[in-house]
Amino acid sequence: MIVVEDVALHFGGIRAVDGVSLKIEKGSITGLIGPNGAGKTTLFNIIAGVYTPTYGRIFLDGDDVTGFKPHQLFPKGLLRTFQIAHEFFSLTVRENLMMVPAGQSGETLMNTFFHRGKVASEEQQVCQKADEVIDFLNLTHLADAPAGTLSGGQKKLLELGRKSCLNWAAP
């Protein structure tokens, strides 16, 4: 699914990553280990589109995505999550998911006055989808809990859930 072909990134004289090749199969769980300063984070950043490699190529599902930016990789299904999750800690788990889909009609002040029905029905649909994701993540019992109170692992699950909500078209 992800193919890294002879990728390098040089910062001036520092060869942070130097000629890495690897293949990640669909459905696999792959780890990357190495000593401090080995270049793991830099390689992640290259694959996630934060950096363009000095040389080498990245393929995603067979497409050459070298130099693609994170927002271009996202619709192709690639997203980087972080060691420290970035939830909105005072919003509930459900609210954290509901705020993800862009272009909701309730974002426009005028709509909240003149198209209240549309705003409400859209919000209800988004809420329903959020609850489906919450069930899938086995976080049902925490749907109304402030996201800041989740454990580290639960926050990671929430972050993955937010990714799946990004694919929703505005209803």
Ligand X SMILES: Nc1ncnc2c1ncn2[C@@H]1O[C@H](COP(=O)(O)OP(=O)(O)OP(=O)(O)O)[C@@H](O)[C@H]1O
Rounded CA-CA distance 39/56 in Å is 15
164 lines the binding site for Mg ion (CB under 5 A): no
Q: How many residues bind Mg ion (CB under 5 A)?
A: 1
Q: CB of 152: closest distance to ligand X in angstroms?
A: 18
Cβ proximity to Mg ion, 27 vs 34, nearer residue: 34
Q: CB of 46: closest distance to ligand X in angstroms?
A: 10
Rounded CA-CA distance 64/42 in Å is 19
Q: What is the phi/psi pair of residue 84, to 5°?
A: -105, 115
80 lines the binding site for Mg ion (CB under 5 A): no
Of these, 11, 55, 89, 136, which contacts ligand X (CB under 6 A)?
Answer: 11
Instruction: Give the strands of the sheet with 14-24, arranged side by side.
Output: 14-24, 2-11, 55-60, 63-64
Q: CB of 55: closest distance to ligand X in angstroms?
A: 16
Cβ proximity to Mg ion, 39 vs 49, nearer residue: 39
41 lines the binding site for Mg ion (CB under 5 A): yes
Residue 5: strand pairing partners: 57
* Residue the block writes with tokens 């199969």: 25
Structure tokens at 123: 């919000």
Cβ proximity to ligand X, 20 vs 126, nearer residue: 20
